[in-house]
Structure 1
Amino acid sequence: MSQQPFSWELLSKAPVVGIIRGLQPDDIDHILPVYREAGLTTIEITMNTAGATSIIQNARQHHAEGLNIGAGTVCTLDDLDLALDAGAQFVVTPVISKKVIKACVKRDIPIFPGAFTPSEIYKAWSLGASMVKVYPATSLGPEYIRDVKAPLNQLRLMPTGGISLDNMAAYFKAGADGLGIGSHLFDKALIQAKNWTGLKTHLQNFVSCMQAAMGQR
């Protein structure tokens, strides 16, 4: 799979990374165009989803227009090679793996490693992270992002975990550079019912909330 570069322009237009985990390939095929039509631009498929590499490959072949498609839950160099061979344009990890971060930096692949404490966040950044995934953000809340950014304002942070329509604006106002959103974005009931129109409306609500929050920064 040819490596079409990640578009930072697309991400800055809609700084949300949608996280697809454990969904069926057929459903993902329906979700990706709906996701793009709703105004979202960047999506990660986790490597612990069954058939992840073929899903990434298929997504890059058929849905690449206007979408950044990456791989999540990349923990090892083997995972990384599989993800990049499948055509992933960016990489997200749940933890700091120095080897994975360095390999991405060397290959000019955007890397969003997971970190929790200020020391971990700074370490990930100093190793070359493009943006640091602050995970799990659920227990920390938006104020934590504001507190970390106060002395470390050059860092780009992407809180992930427990982000919903109710709190996403607060995270943007606290200085988040992006948000990682999984189950709240990909509503299980709508997907099980194959209600793609309903899913599009649901995703558009997130886009409206995101645009309003970004307008107030």
Structure 2
Amino acid sequence: MYVLEELSQRKVLAIIRADGAEAALRCIRTLVDAGITALEVSLTTPDALDAITRARPRLPRSVLLGAGTVLTAGQADAASAAGAGFVVTPGLTQGARRAAAGGTPLLCGALTPTEVISALDLGASAVKVFPAGLHGPRYLRELRAPLPEAPLVAVGGIDAATAPAYLAAGAVAVGVGSPLLGGAGSSGTRQAQDDLAARAATLLEAVGPRRAAADHHRGAEGR
């Protein structure tokens, strides 16, 4: 349950898709330094598990680092072995079932009420509503009407401008990928990382500057 509690406080889950492990590591460092302390490295990133393995011991204990786009049972096992603190799936995959069975905190992808209920019945810590951007905050609000206790994380097409609306609609957090990463996942330039840090600051300010500052301070204490 700690993943849900922490996401509810931090409000932002950064989704990292990069050209390889080195690029992912650069993005992780930049985001954590900027104050985003919940991160998911998608397994669509080449050598994503290597990035997680290398990043985990270098980060403060307070940083949440997970593996995303987990499809198979083997990927769920490998993510756990690499040090991922949670796994994220696009739907009710075999990877979701293995994570739940093994006690690994799970953010399971879903869209419809039936899928949300199935994800929670499986044992998901929270449900990733994806693609949230296709339907907007109103859909999330309507989804919560019959499921008011469902912990929903809105993911897909969300940026600093729209994130507050999803939180206001009842999302416990928002997952933000390409609008946050921009070109940082493929460019090794200092400018790309500086731009990523600036977007991270804008996003944190949008979802709550006081909460972001507290999280950043706590992360610094754990270094």
Same fold (TM over 0.5): yes
Comparing both structures, which one devotes a greater share of its residues to helix? Answer: 2
Give the deviation of 1:64 after TM superposition.
Answer: 4.3
Tell me which residue corresponds to 1:28.
24
Give the deviation of 1:141 after TM superposition.
Answer: 0.4
Whether 1:149 and 2:121 are equivalent positions in the alignment is: no
How many residues of Structure 1 are paired with residues of Structure 2 in the alignment?
Answer: 209
Segments of structure 1 that go 5 or more residues without pairing to the other structure are: none
Distance in 2 (alpha carbons) for counterparts of 1:24 and 1:164: 24
Distance in 2 (alpha carbons) for counterparts of 1:177 and 1:13: 8
RMSD of Structure 2 on Structure 1 (CA): 2.3
Aligned residues with identical type, % of pairs: 33
Tell me which residue corresponds to 1:199.
196
Tell me which residue corresponds to 2:82.
86
Secondary structure, counterpart of 1:147 in structure 2: helix
Whether 1:66 and 2:62 are equivalent positions in the alignment is: yes
Secondary structure, counterpart of 1:71 in structure 2: strand
8 A Cα contact 1:121 1:132, kept in partner: yes
Stretch deviating more after TM superposition (152-161 or 102-111): 102-111
8 A Cα contact 1:173 1:213, kept in partner: no
Tell me which residue corresponds to 1:55.
51
Distance in 2 (alpha carbons) for counterparts of 1:138 and 1:213: 26
Secondary structure, counterpart of 2:26 in structure 1: helix
Give the deviation of 1:56 after TM superposition.
Answer: 0.9
Give the deviation of 1:164 after TM superposition.
Answer: 0.9
Distance in 2 (alpha carbons) for counterparts of 1:176 and 1:163: 12
Give the deviation of 1:26 after TM superposition.
Answer: 2.3
The 1:27/1:208 distance shift into structure 2, 3 A limit, reads same
Which structure would you say has the larger RCO, counting Cα contacts within 8 Å and 6 or more residues apart?
2
1:127-153 CA distance string (max 9 Å, x none): 111100111112110001100111101
8 A Cα contact 2:31 2:200, kept in partner: yes
After TM superposition, the score normalised by the length of structure 1 is: 0.87
Residues 157-172 of structure 1: pairs in structure 2 closer than 5 A: 157-172=152-167
8 A Cα contact 2:77 2:99, kept in partner: no
